């Protein structure tokens, strides 16, 4: 088992950031995809297509949960950096303020 070093954590955060940015279109259109699958399930006469639509809706919901967890991790990671900077024994107020502003900008 590998050790969890700061470099590995930063690499993971960068990777998740790239994944989230590449999947932004899917996340933005999530409700439309779910609505289309539900409509296909309700309106089709083909039982195989209806079952497949329901199955795909299940996987899309799992995907949404995974993306939400990754996004929460990323937000908490950034908030933790700000928190540690503000709890330091010799806190640099201007640096902590800048980190806090960057965190707010990221969350928006």
Q: What is the pLDDT along the chain (108 residues), one digit of tens a residue?
A: 445 555 555 555 555 555 556 566 666 677 787 888 888 888 888 888 888 888 888 887 777 777 777 777 778 888 888 888 888 888 778 887 888 888 788 777
What is the model's pTM?
Answer: 0.44
pLDDT at 80: 82
DSSP alpha helix (H) spans, 24-92: 24-28, 30-43, 47-87
Nearest to 9 by CA among 61, 78, 62, 59: 78
Cα separation, 74 vs 77, whole angstroms: 5
91 phi, psi to nearest 5 deg: -75, 135
pLDDT at 96: 79
Question: CA 62 → CA 14, 67, 94, distances in Å?
Answer: 22, 9, 41
């Amino acid at each position: 088992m590998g050790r969890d070093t700061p470099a590995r954590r930063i690499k993971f955060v960068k990777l998740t950031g790239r994944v989230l940015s590449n999947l932004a279109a899917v996340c933005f259109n999530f409700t439309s995809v779910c609505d289309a699958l539900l409509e296909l399930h309700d309106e089709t006469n083909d039982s195989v297509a209806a079952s497949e639509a329901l199955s795909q809706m299940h996987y899309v919901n799992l995907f949404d949960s995974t993306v939400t967890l990754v996004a929460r991790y990323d937000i908490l990671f950034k908030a933790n950096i700000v928190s540690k900077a503000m709890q330091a024994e010799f806190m640099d107020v201007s640096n902590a303020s800048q980190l806090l502003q960057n965190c707010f900008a990221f969350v928006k």
